[in-house]
Amino acid sequence: MLSKNPFHSLVLVLFIFSVKTSWSQKTATGFGEFTQQEMALKECAFDKEAEAVVLLEKAESNYDDHYNLVTEHRIRIKVLKEKGIGRGDIHISYYSDENYEYIGKIEAAVFNYDAGQKPVWNKLDRKSVYNKKLNKYYSEISFALPNIQVGSIFEYKYESVMKSYGGLREWVFQKDIPVLLSSFNLIILPNAEFTYSIYKNSFIPITVKPDSQNGSVLFEMHDLPGLRDEKYMSAANDYLQRVKFQFSGFKRVENNGYATSVSSTTTYTDTWPKLAKELLDGRDFGAQLTRPLPDAMMGQLLLENTGDAYARMKHIHDYVRTHFTWNGMSSKFASDGLKGTLEKKTGTNGEINIILINFLKAAGLEADPLLVSERAHGSVDTTYPYLDQFSKVVAYVTIGDKKYILDGTDRQTPSFMVPFNLLNTTGFVVNKKKPALVQIQNAAKKNLNLITLTGTVQPSGSIELNATVDNYDYGKMEKKARYVQDKKEYEKDFFAPYAIQTIDSFSVSGAASDSLPLRHTAVFKYTPEKTGDYVLLNCNMFSGFDANPFISDWRFSDIDFGCNYTCSINGTFTLPENLTPDALPKNIKLVIPDHSMTIIRQVHQNGNELQVGIQIDFTKTLYSADEYPDVQDFYKQMLIILNEPILLKAKS
């Protein structure tokens, strides 16, 4: 079983504080005024490998006379290593659709020492600030700070103004580089009720300081290590220390001249059923699920759709994922309706998947919208219906007792499989009568790889080899996407780890079929390593286990493989008259303590023929950070077993 998740969630309504909080204040100098300690800093004491360090990040969110959300940001960073110089290129994205958000009051200061060790300050030239549109919804302010070098301290600040106080975003304390002080002060709109959730590691303290007199609450954290990208990390955001906000209600206050009273309370979406109703009643979501579809298109689909329920579903899914093109923009809605997408056959993933759901419903299938968050986007907090934690909408189809998850923008995943980037996530079925949170898994399908090697060892020690590599299910999907994108580069990468002399033939089949494996057939010659009089025959070919991804001494995030894994290597090698094994590697079985990872190796000799069998099985997809030492040790020992050669020596 997984160990307890190191992150916890607290949901509290502001103005009702029953929890005692601690408070400590670190003084921050004025903008552009750097301390002697900051100037002298050479490395981060608790993260010595860091290329840069955030000395200070502070923000305060307030409101103006028009109840706009006004947030002042201030960030101070010191560059510690050459790699950190790029931190001086600043990019600030903002929601610009319908002028919802505006960025202004930008200032920046840079501190350096000159050749004579005299302090030098530079300021940002306003002419070097650029504003460009990224897409329909977002724009970006960018600027490059002058004269950034190792040892530089730079600071910048800006103001964000949003049309609605409801635009309040989560505050993230932690970065990919260490942070010495991160502070966020929220001044609350009068009569507003908020919920907030704190996500943090149990061993890192947080200060929460409510001030009921001023209607504010301050959140602060100190000395946070940088969160680096770790192999098989689901989403960095899941492990960043942060606090998330959402409206829960708004009180209307009346004064009759004698006393003030609450006349009514507007309650915002605070339960999952309410979220489902709000979405299905919305113009950009539910209303688009009942739009009439083009008669010609529906007529063609239904005419060709005479099979059982699964056949109808597959036919419609295949039609949408091959005829419609995703424009690269993620959305949960069809904000511009469906007409343009239906005509141009291109649109956001929200528009395309809402069209897919419409087609499925028209064919008599039980299909609902499913809000999802891909693993790279972050996990879903099921304690509160935060809509923003979902990245897009897909189709959720029920046929008998089976459930199918279909993405009309995913051209690689067949109808009977769950898209890989949704495995081990939580989705929300948007249905007024039966709204539900569902855990998305696909235990029946795995990353399955079968490798067959048949080789003839030449008297010189070189090997003529026939190889067949079959990749099934999720093993196929990952490789098929790369193969379809660039076949020549794919072939190059396929042979890259090995000392190939000549490639006589190479072919790939099964890419066009959902049911067949991706089969690689290769005939080639390669030269094994030699040491002294020995030829080192290694059977670890095409497994993908070329290097250990788990080499760090510790790990911050959980390990998420997505799906179960099996790899089988079977090799048969015919030896020449002049070479014989010095000693066969021992038959061995290695198992992780919880028995979820196993490798078995068997080696036999029958006359001049060697037979090698290796089987690797992973039967668990998620490992907590606490289990990292076991996984790390298994991988280390597994690679030793995989790469242990059979020593061939000349017969005496």
CA distance linking residue 13 with residue 9, whole number of Å:
13
CA distances to 64, 119, 177, 278 from 115, in Å: 47, 10, 28, 63
What is the per-residue pLDDT for 190? 83
What are the start-end ranges of the E strands in 80-117? 89-95, 101-113
Asked if 536 and 528 count as a contact pair (C-beta separation under 8 A), the reply is yes
CA distance linking residue 578 with residue 652, whole number of Å:
9
What is the per-residue pLDDT for 14? 31
Per the listing, tokens 């202004």 go with 104
Asked which of 115-129, 388-402, 421-435, 615-629 is least confident by mean pLDDT, the reply is 115-129
Under the banding of pLDDT at 50, 70 and 90, the label for residue 614 is very high
What are the start-end ranges of the E strands in 259-384? 260-267, 325-326, 346-347, 366-372
Cross-strand partners of 406 = 395
Q: In this structure, what are the phi and psi dihedrals at residue 645, rounded to the nearest 5 degrees?
A: -80, 160
Check whether residue 461 and residue 338 sit in a common domain: no
Check whether residue 215 and residue 326 sit in a common domain: no
Is pLDDT above 70 for 587?
yes
Asked if 590 and 641 count as a contact pair (C-beta separation under 8 A), the reply is yes
Check whether residue 355 and residue 494 sit in a common domain: no
Can you give the pTM of this predicted structure? 0.81
Beta 179-187 vs 579-581: how paired, if at all? Answer: unpaired
Check whether residue 490 and residue 436 sit in a common domain: no
Cβ neighbours of residue 31 under 8 Å, at least 6 residues apart? 74, 107, 109, 155, 157
CA distance linking residue 242 with residue 221, whole number of Å:
10
CA distance linking residue 384 with residue 377, whole number of Å:
17
For residue 339, give both structure tokens: 């007409």
CA distance linking residue 414 with residue 124, whole number of Å:
52
Asked if 168 and 245 count as a contact pair (C-beta separation under 8 A), the reply is yes
Residue 241 lies in a domain: no
Under the banding of pLDDT at 50, 70 and 90, the label for residue 27 is low
For residue 42, give both structure tokens: 């050479």
Is pLDDT above 50 for 3?
no
Residue 187 lies in a domain: yes
Is pLDDT above 80 for 191?
no
Per the structure, the count of domains in the chain is: 3
CA distance linking residue 454 with residue 61, whole number of Å:
67
Per the listing, tokens 């000349």 go with 650
Check whether residue 428 and residue 497 sit in a common domain: no
Check whether residue 433 and residue 455 sit in a common domain: no
Residue 630 lies in a domain: yes
What CATH number is attached to the domain comprising 379? 3.10.620.30
Check whether residue 471 and residue 366 sit in a common domain: no
- Mean pLDDT, residues 6-11: 34
Residue 201 lies in a domain: no
Check whether residue 362 and residue 424 sit in a common domain: yes
Residue numbers of the domain that contains 618:
447-650
Cross-strand partners of 590 = 599
What is the per-residue pLDDT for 26? 56
What CATH number is attached to the domain comprising 584? 2.60.120.1130
Share of the chain above pLDDT 90, in %: 72
For helices 295-303 and 349-362, the axis angle rounded to 10 degrees is 60
CA distance linking residue 232 with residue 632, whole number of Å:
13
3-state secondary structure of 441: coil
What is the per-residue pLDDT for 417? 97
Is pLDDT above 80 for 571?
yes
3-state secondary structure of 201: strand
Check whether residue 306 and residue 430 sit in a common domain: yes
Cβ neighbours of residue 323 under 8 Å, at least 6 residues apart? 345
3-state secondary structure of 467: strand
> What's the pLDDT tens digit per position in 257-307?
444 444 444 445 679 999 999 999 999 999 999 877 776 676 666 666 667
What is the per-residue pLDDT for 304? 63
CA distance linking residue 162 with residue 298, whole number of Å:
42
* Angle (CA) 451 455 459, round 5°: 155
Per the listing, tokens 């319908």 go with 98
Residue 413 lies in a domain: yes
Specify the higher pLDDT residue, 144 or 294. Answer: 144
Of 386, 409, 440, the position where a domain reaches its end is 440
Terminal Cα-to-Cα distance of the chain (whole angstroms): 55
CA pseudo-torsion sign 384, 385, 386, 389: positive
**Residue at 279: amino acid letter:** L
Is pLDDT above 80 for 242?
yes
